[in-house]
A and B are shown apart, each in its own frame.
Chain A
């Protein structure tokens, strides 16, 4: 194993990690806002990938151009999921935690079924795109362009999110609702509207990630499951309630995955991620940056 191989894989791990962060941040945002873990998060990613695929297949729209459209569509979808399902789940008087887990888990199963029904279980891929298969060489290190752009998009999204939460009225309303959902009603903030927009925003972010990922991943009805687990670990590693934690968690997960793959057979690369999660929470039961 040369130094070059190590740098090479850490570099691709870092890029992938930023994308993991982008996938996870929507989950972190929703959790931070209302303490709900969305068990259909992976399926949000899955429909974003399908949406990108069909925009490509029918209208020859490149995934990069499709990304904002897909994010917008997912925004609407996320808000609807809140209004039609989650709104009632959080109202449950008994077992609220389990009701949230299993109503979103039920949604995940329905979404997989719908995807199978309309799109069949076949594997699909965006066969040619502006970036697909291209690499950039930086001093002997080869970086795939789609991942590079994905990482850039992820960083831009995090920057935008930071600005949005801290500098806009809606962001302040979001923060206020998260602090005390009861009290905001007194100052005229409609809690439901904020939650719906929060779900929309969370879904839009994972939509962005899905559009980028469809350039270099196969698309099939169960594709969300494997990424969803990584997303939960990413969020928990960073600490629930912390959007910055999801960003940091994503980078750590990407780097750990890449270094595990150097030492163990590729099929065991996730073991490293899981082991690091356990190690972190055994030492710090709130995750790295968790507040609660």
Chain B
């Protein structure tokens, strides 16, 4: 017999499939490059936030240093391509694997920490990496690295004019991140993570290996984030330490999930769909003066949403509680 939960999961899958199909045809009708650019960024932030959500939302380990994994992905693929001629497709996977390994190596000491001590540790680790790259001449130091363009090519995943390939890659990444989350949600990992989030001591006493489940969440989360970073490097074809590894970026990555609904399946994507176009539009329409009005609007929006909907915007869609059917 189907439980409500199983029904909901099947419905989630169908809705996701329909949304992805609709999203896939949108750029065929919307040809404006500016709008397409915003769509790519929205999908990218959706994917990043979804990845962040696995570690911080489901498993409850608030990371404010995910820019580290994003930056690692961006730098690995860019360095491999510009210095060794390795195609970005391999660099992307390489960056993902390196990030996952580093996430576990860092998790080994860090997962002993709790609450703010953990969050601040993630910040300072990302910050150390940022400072090291800024001072590493071979890797471009503070100036960063430009990826040389040599005409449109799927092999090198670079396209001078068309945004479409980037759009479809970003859409694919979102779908993968969403599907991984969907799949893990109902796996034993998903249950462990929620138990660890709610009460690590109780979870441990019931046989959940808390440490391992945190490590698993960190690895998956870091891997997907790094793929996002590699994608971003290809998309803008220029990276510098501050823009891919800065502390602000860690917060921006978490923001869609927090405003959309932390630890929920749809929260990160919903947050991204609302937040990113708004950010980009305010930036280009009222930010041009350089006078900070866009920041005021953006910050005000963050305050308003987080105070008005602490459980996230996704709660607006929550079905009415059915008490009688239980």
Contact = CB atoms under 8 A, between A and B. Distances in A.
Contact of B310 (A96, A229, A287): A96
Interface string B253-297: 001001100100000000000000000000000000011111111
A41 interface: no
Given A95-B262, A278-B124, A110 B303 contact: yes
Contacts of B62: 97-98, 101
A99 interface: yes
B295 A232 contact: no
A145 interface: no
Q: Which applies to chain B's interface (DSSP): helix, strand, loop or mixed?
A: helix
A277 interface: yes
Q: Which applies to chain A's interface (DSSP): helix, strand, loop or mixed?
A: helix
Contact of A277 (B120, B132, B258, B303): B120
Interface of B: 62, 109, 112-117, 120-121, 123-125, 127-128, 131-132, 134-135, 247-248, 251, 255, 258-259, 262, 290-303, 306-307, 310-312
Most buried by B among A37, A107, A114, A271: A271
Contacts of A277: 120-121, 124
B303 A107 contact: yes
Contacts of B300: 106, 110
B303 A85 contact: yes
Interface stretch (A3-11, A116-124, A163-171): A116-124
B117 A286 contact: yes
A245 B105 CA distance: 29
- The size class of the interface chain A forms with chain B is 35 or more
A259 interface: no
Contacts of B299: 106-113
Contacts of B290: 116, 121
Most buried by B among A85, A94, A268: A94
A65 interface: no
Contacts of A271: 128, 131-132
A94 B116 contact: no
A278 B300 CA distance: 34
Given A105-B302, A285-B114, A92 B310 contact: yes
A89 interface: yes
A126 B101 CA distance: 49
A102 B292 contact: no
Contacts of A225: 247-248
B292 A98 contact: no
Contacts of B115: 97
A261 to B, nearest CB: 13
A131 interface: no
The 7 closest A-B pairs by CB, nearest first: A113-B295, A116-B292, A109-B299, A106-B302, A92-B310, A110-B299, A113-B292
A241 to B, nearest CB: 10
B112 A282 contact: yes
A112 B295 contact: yes
A114 B296 contact: yes
B311 A103 contact: no
Interface in A259-286: 265, 267-268, 270-271, 274-275, 277-278, 281-282, 285-286
Interface string A231-273: 0110010001000000000000000000000000101101100
